Amino acid sequence: MRKGLSPATQPRPRPAKRERKGTAEARLQAAIRELKDIKAALDEHSIVAITDASGKITYVNDKFCAISKYSREELVGQDHRIINSHYHPKGFFRQLWTTIGRGHVWHGEIKNRAKDGSIYWVDTTIFPRLNGKGKPLQYVAIRTDITQRKADEAALHRFTGDLAEKNKELEAIVYTISHDLRSPLVNVQGFSRQLARACEQIKSTLTHSVGRASPMVELQAPLEVAIPQALRFINASVNKMEQLLAGLLRYSRAGHVVLNIRPLDLNTLLTEILAAMKFQLDQAKAEVQIEPLPSSLGDRALVNQVFANLVDNAVKYRDPTRPLHIKVSGQIEAGQVLYAVTDNGIGIAPEHQAKIFNIFHKLDPDASSGEGLGLAIAQRLLERQKGKIRVESRAGSGSTFYLTLPKVGDESIIATP
Amino acid sequence: MKRSAPTILIVDDDEGHAILVRENLAAGGLNNPVEYFRDGQAVLDFFFKPNPDRGVEKGRVYLILLDIRMPKVDGIEVLRRIKLDPELRKLPVIMLTTTDDLREVDRCHQLGCSVYIQKPVDYDKFAEAIRRLGMFMTLLLVPTVNSR
């Protein structure tokens, strides 16, 4: 048996002429009904437009009007430039026209601009209707709104970037810990061995001194040199490890603090910081200038911590040969609030500038106390509030730390995952 | 003519490590003079800003044991600066550090270090590594520093 043969192809007896005419009309009606239904289905799902061969819009469906926010009257007679977002390069549309002008179907994703300026993305198929010679008569464009998908893709891209950055950060931390924690371990083991050797020596001296007058001379070296030295290094190493672990914990906590994001008045915040640090600033004879600061979005306590750390650093790394000047200023730049904390301190040489934000990095351990965590934590706290920190500095003339935070009104950016 | 034994320059921000290295070199039979530097800047000053108390001497031989992670100037930068100098670049530089990051090993060799050794955390292995290093160093023929 032959399969797939429709009844229409089966040979049929030829009907009478009148009957034939009636059937043809009925079939035509049926075909028209079917086409109407297919069109209705298409309109229900897709954004549809038809243009003439020159690209002038001759038809748009309701979905087209809805997404473009133009009325049918505004669209018909125009070409698609009315919704051009100027996102795509010229070559993009040239290639589109070359394809459909040759009678081929074009498929792609287009970013458009609606009447109200809002942006939308459409997945587009343009189908040329051709005349007998293969020349396009009309173009039928069928589109699907993919704005959300595009937004999701962009978000995914951002997250991937963030994740890669986090991974790098994590690697740096593991590297740091592997070195910084191993170092004191070597000392603990090594000097414990020195202690053991000293004990052996004392024991042996005492054993051999039975009956002799005084073994004091032989005991002097282990008791006065080796043992105190070993104890000193073991203690220092254990303290160092403890300090590293405590620092690590502090750094880790900075990544988990619950944020309370709200608009912040940086002018009062800075005034409070300076009041709290008055003693320290007076001692350093620091002159602090605060320009009117724009508000931003952030967690009050954390932003306070970051600025306090920067002012504290300016005091710590001041140039003793001249009076310390600190200036805090701010402005809105590129849709964010940019603050600058400038000092005239010792500055940072170019080769050290990237490292100062590394965990446990200290340029000069003798120059100041602390474990090299302040800026690493400041960076982490700002990142959590969608902010950033960077430094510009010249060795010998001072540093400016630039901080960005989201501006008031951009609350949606800080939506924490 | 018998060559003089090279002065070993130990550059390590951890003074404890420097003492342990020195003791174990001695235990391995090495009696060379040793100088200790607590960071990269100190050893760069020794070479590039010598003063009467402390500084490179013409006609002497030196061998550098260099840690990487140090404050002020790190070991990589010290290595780079030494290998950029037409005269000092002859000096053997042995990286002796707690990290075993392969990229770091790569970088040091690219910059021209002679040997890269990881300090073992286990002290027996540490002592053994340094003793062997000492024996190895007795075999090295080290060029003298002529002028700068």
Kindly identify which residue of chain B lies nearest to residue A361, measuring between CA atoms. Answer: B71
- Over residues A302-326, the pLDDT tens digits come to 999 999 999 998 998 888 888 999 9
Rounded distance, CA A47 to CA A61, Å? 7
A186 contacts B121? CB cut-off 8 A:
yes
Per-domain residue ranges for chain B? 7-139
B99 contacts A362? CB cut-off 8 A:
no
Whether ipTM > 0.85 holds is no
pTM of the predicted protein model: 0.64
Contact A187, A223 (CB under 8 A): no
Higher pLDDT, A122 or B126: A122
- Closest partner CB to B126 (pick from A186, A194, A236): A186
pLDDT, position B147: 55
Per-domain residue ranges for chain A? 27-145, 154-254, 261-414
Rounded to a whole number of angstroms, the distance from the CA of A162 to the nearest CA of chain B is: 23
**Distance separating the N- and C-terminal Cα atoms of chain A:** 63
Chain B contact present for A351, CB below 8 A: yes
pLDDT, position A142: 96
List the single best residue of A178, A189, A368 to mutate versus B (max B Cβ within 10 A): A189
DSSP labels for A246-303? HHHHHHHHHTTPPP-EEEE-HHHHHHHHHHHTHHHHHHTT-EEEE-----EEEEHHHH
List the single best residue of A176, A177, A183, A317 to mutate versus B (max B Cβ within 10 A): A183
CA A256, A258, A262, A266 dihedral sign is negative
**Residue (of A69, A83, A74) closest to A141 by Cα position:** A83
Provide the CB-side half-sphere exposure for A226 (13 A, CA): 21
Mean pLDDT of chain A: 87
B123 contacts A193? CB cut-off 8 A:
yes
The CATH class given to the A27-145 domain equals: alpha beta
Amino acid at the residue A322: R
The domain made up of A261-414 has a fold known as Heat Shock Protein 90 (3.30.565)
DSSP labels for A174-210? HHHHHHHHHHHHHHHHHHHHHHHHHHHHHHHHHHHTT
- Over residues A189-199, the pLDDT tens digits come to 999 999 999 99
Rounded distance, CA A76 to CA A71, Å? 9
Rounded to a whole number of angstroms, the distance from the CA of B57 to the nearest CA of chain A is: 28
Share of chain A above pLDDT 70, in %: 90
Chain B contact present for A160, CB below 8 A: no
Q: How many Cβ pairs closer than 8 A exist between chain A and B?
A: 61
- The CATH H-level superfamily of B7-139 is Response regulator (3.40.50.2300)
Using an 8 Å CB-CB cutoff, list chain B residues near A351.
77
